[in-house]
């Protein structure tokens, strides 16, 4: 267990980070704070991967375990009303990365105080998880070649689960994702004479409906998949048929074949629906993150450690949300974990303007890190 003064200090770090949120690859103040604390506790600190990433090590030789926390915020105007609310309009920690950082720092303090008798503990404070792929950049810039690891683990607070719940699935944890922008171009004209223009708006409407039916019509009912059109932009007046519309959205899947089917069907539908209305479609489709797939031995180890703490490790289904920790799991065995963090009463979800990390679960998350590091380095 932790000294209550240390827990209070960790909560203070979390609140400080919450007041000063920084977006992906801009986490300069955050990484400076992290590096300063770790250096003071005797960790060997390395900076510069992905610009604002921080990697710290303690101990020597094998086995080597990696513990990762994400550190970036989101471009959201905060509406929590808490005393430690963001001081930067339009930026906030709406996903709990401030809590993830404070949990790993609290654990790092205890690990340093106890020492690492065998093996090496590697801490990874990763920038730009939110859609920018900071994990991919760290891997590309040599994370696992400069700091070889036998296993790597990450935790995310999960407000959909009660405190005391802990999830570590043996395989599929979170989905792969892509984003798309489809520009529909045609001839515009007067709203009272639509026969003299192309059906840009008609194409957009039909396209939005057809795209979102892709999983139901192209994938097996046993294969998860999502296509969501989340934006439609077109027109500027009541009496003008526009010459341009843009549809944007996201796709989610697990299996590689499902990802290919979704992309191919999206391209065919967009092209055909535009052509049916006399228009053309310019499709920008970008695959961002692979699926987050745990390795079974590492997930089992995590459940064992959590169970020893008295946490409920009953299994739940995977999530169609996505996580760039997947890039690390593509390189090294490991597991991505959910720590129950629901609040009593109003319980805003991740990415809500009213979300605030539940400080009550911070000690449990940090204790899990300490115990996991101890078990993994003991071989």
Kindly report, residue by residue over 260-319, the tens digit of the pLDDT. Answer: 999 999 999 999 999 999 999 999 999 999 999 999 999 999 999 999 999 999 999 999
- Quick one: pLDDT at residue 1? 78
Q: CA–CA distance from 348 to each of 80, 165, 234 (Å)?
A: 10, 18, 32
pLDDT in tens, 352-361: 999 999 999 9
Find out whether 13 and 102 touch, Cβ atoms under 8 Å: yes
Mean residue pLDDT of the chain comes to: 97
Helices (H) and strands (E) in the chain, counts: 11, 15
pLDDT in tens, 212-246: 999 999 999 999 999 999 999 999 999 999 999 99
If we measure between CA atoms, which residue out of 363, 359, 350, 356 comes closest to residue 19? 356
- Quick one: pLDDT at residue 118? 96
- Quick one: pLDDT at residue 9? 98
- Quick one: pLDDT at residue 131? 76
One DSSP character per residue, 85-125 reads: --SSTT-B--SSHHHHHHHHHHHHHHHHHH---SEEEEEEE
Residue 269 φ/ψ, nearest 5 degrees: -65, -45
pLDDT in tens, 112-166: 999 999 999 999 999 999 978 999 999 999 999 999 999 999 999 999 999 999 9
CA distance 276 to 148: 54
pLDDT in tens, 31-90: 999 999 999 999 999 999 999 999 999 999 999 999 999 999 999 999 999 999 999 999
Is 323 exposed, middle or buried (CB count within 10 Å of its CB: 0-12, 13-18, 19+)?
buried
């Amino acid at each position: 267990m932790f000294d209550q003064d240390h827990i209070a200090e960790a909560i203070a770090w979390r609140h400080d980070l919450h007041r000063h949120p920084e977006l992906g690859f801009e986490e300069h103040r955050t990484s400076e704070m992290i590096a300063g604390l770790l250096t003071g506790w005797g960790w060997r600190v390395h900076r510069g991967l992905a610009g604002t990433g921080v990697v710290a090590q303690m101990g020597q030789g094998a086995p080597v375990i990696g513990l990762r926390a994400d550190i970036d915020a989101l471009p959201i105007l905060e509406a929590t009303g808490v005393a430690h609310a963001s001081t930067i309009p339009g930026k906030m920690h709406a996903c709990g990365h401030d809590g993830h950082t404070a949990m790993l720092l609290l654990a790092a303090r205890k690990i340093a105080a106890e020492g690492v008798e065998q093996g090496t503990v590697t801490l990874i404070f990763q920038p730009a998880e939110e859609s920018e792929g900071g994990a991919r950049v760290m891997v590309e810039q040599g994370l696992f070649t400069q700091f070889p690891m036998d296993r790597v683990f990450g935790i995310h607070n999960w407000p959909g689960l009660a405190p005391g719940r802990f999830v570590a699935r043996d395989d599929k944890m979170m989905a792969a994702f892509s984003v798309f922008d489809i520009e529909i171009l045609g001839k515009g004209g007067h709203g009272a004479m639509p026969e003299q223009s192309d059906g840009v708006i008609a194409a957009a409407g039909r396209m939005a409906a057809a795209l979102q039916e892709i999983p139901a019509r192209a994938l097996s009912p046993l294969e998860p998949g999502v296509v969501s059109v989340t934006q439609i932009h077109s027109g500027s007046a009541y009496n003008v048929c526009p010459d341009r519309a843009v549809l944007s959205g996201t796709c989610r899947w697990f299996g590689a074949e499902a990802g290919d089917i979704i992309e191919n069907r999206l391209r065919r539908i967009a092209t055909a629906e535009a052509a049916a209305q006399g228009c053309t479609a310019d499709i920008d489709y970008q695959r961002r993150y692979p699926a987050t797939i745990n390795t079974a031995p590492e997930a089992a180890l995590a459940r064992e450690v959590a169970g020893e703490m008295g946490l409920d490790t009953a299994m739940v289904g995977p999530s169609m949300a996505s996580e760039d920790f997947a890039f690390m799991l593509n390189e090294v065995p490991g597991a991505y974990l959910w720590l129950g963090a629901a609040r009593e009463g109003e319980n805003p979800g991740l990415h809500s303007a009213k979300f605030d990390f539940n400080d009550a679960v911070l000690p449990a998350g940090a204790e899990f890190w300490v115990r996991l590091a101890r078990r993994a380095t003991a071989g």
